[in-house]
């Protein structure tokens, strides 16, 4: 692996590593996702995700996705075929699907996690992100530690471009250096409800956002406290990506995180 610029990561809260993953691995992930989609029968699930009064079933399907492979539709999807209507697949692809498992556990990811300070990395969550042509939704500014919190915070995001991502098709945007600010919110389970709790009302700093344009095969590394998001995709081009979130086993994983895996213990890279 090429030397990681730890100074840039400490300063900016992100890294953009070109050609980090082979084109073959990118092809394999895309092909496998297409197979999973082809084998997915949305039937009643699609109703769940397009009907407002099904909130309960929808929430349960989401909560159970932490230890499953579940499919989530775009809010703006109407009559598109399923392959052009999905927002994402999540959240245990890396443990339950052999192709995602193999590529997620490539040695270069393990070495990178170690280099960035995770001594005992655990692969917590994976998402195949579609960002469909024309209807791919905006992802608002957020910190990943809002959704996946350990004490102390250790969550680390790996975001792999499976298509060239640029401003037109909704590449990642980030506020450089803003990972040094506090965690603002936590999304967590309270009883049977998912709630968002404000921890610190400090607004995002007044920093010019940067577009993290990434050619296919590029890995974007995101610090768990870095504010980031992405614009909607209004272009005719898809923008597929694969995201993997890691935590350090030495930190406490909070029992009120939405993602709980009672039936599927977390694994590292081994």
Binding site residues, Fe ion, CB under 5 A:
144
C-alpha 241/C-alpha 245 separation (Å) is: 13
End-to-end alpha carbon distance in the chain: 18
Nearer to Fe ion, 71 or 158 (CB): 158
CB of 139 to Fe ion, least distance (A): 7
CB of 222 to Fe ion, least distance (A): 7
CB of 67 to Fe ion, least distance (A): 20
Nearer to Fe ion, 48 or 214 (CB): 214
Sign, CA dihedral 83-104-163-172, equals positive
CB of 235 to Fe ion, least distance (A): 21
CB burial readout 211-246, b (16+ within 10 A) else e: ebbbebbbbbbbbbbbbbebbebebebbbbbbbbbb
Nearer to Fe ion, 97 or 144 (CB): 144
C-alpha 71/C-alpha 37 separation (Å) is: 8
Nearer to Fe ion, 14 or 71 (CB): 14
Which residue has the CB atom at the shortest distance from Fe ion? 144
CB of 146 to Fe ion, least distance (A): 9
Nearer to Fe ion, 25 or 144 (CB): 144
C-alpha 128/C-alpha 93 separation (Å) is: 8
C-alpha 153/C-alpha 141 separation (Å) is: 18
């Amino acid at each position: 692996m090429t030397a990681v610029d730890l100074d840039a990561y400490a300063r900016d809260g992100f890294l953009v590593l070109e050609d980090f993953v082979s084109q073959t691995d990118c092809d394999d992930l895309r092909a496998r996702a297409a197979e999973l989609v082809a084998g997915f029968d949305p039937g009643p699930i699609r109703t769940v995700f397009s009907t407002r009064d099904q909130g309960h079933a929808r929430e349960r399907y989401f909560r159970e996705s932490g230890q499953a492979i579940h499919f989530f539709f775009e809010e703006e999807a109407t009559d598109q075929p399923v392959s052009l209507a999905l927002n994402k697949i999540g959240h245990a692809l890396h443990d339950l699907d052999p192709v995602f498992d193999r590529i997620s556990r490539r040695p270069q990811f393990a070495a990178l996690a170690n280099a960035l300070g995770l001594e005992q990395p655990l692969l917590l969550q994976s998402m195949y992100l579609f960002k469909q042509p024309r209807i791919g939704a905006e992802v608002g500014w957020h910190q990943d530690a809002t959704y996946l919190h350990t004490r102390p915070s250790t969550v680390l995001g790996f975001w792999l471009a499976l298509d060239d991502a640029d401003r037109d098709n909704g590449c990642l945007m980030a506020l450089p250096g803003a990972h040094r600010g506090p965690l603002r919110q936590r999304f967590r389970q309270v009883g049977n409800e998912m709630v968002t709790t404000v921890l610190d009302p400090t607004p995002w700093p007044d920093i010019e956002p940067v577009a993290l344009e990434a050619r296919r095969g590029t890995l974007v590394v995101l610090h768990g406290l870095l504010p980031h998001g992405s614009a909607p995709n209004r272009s005719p081009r898809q923008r597929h990506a694969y995201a993997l979130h890691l935590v350090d086993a030495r930190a406490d994983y909070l029992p009120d995180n939405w993602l709980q895996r009672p039936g599927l213990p977390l694994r590292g890279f081994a």
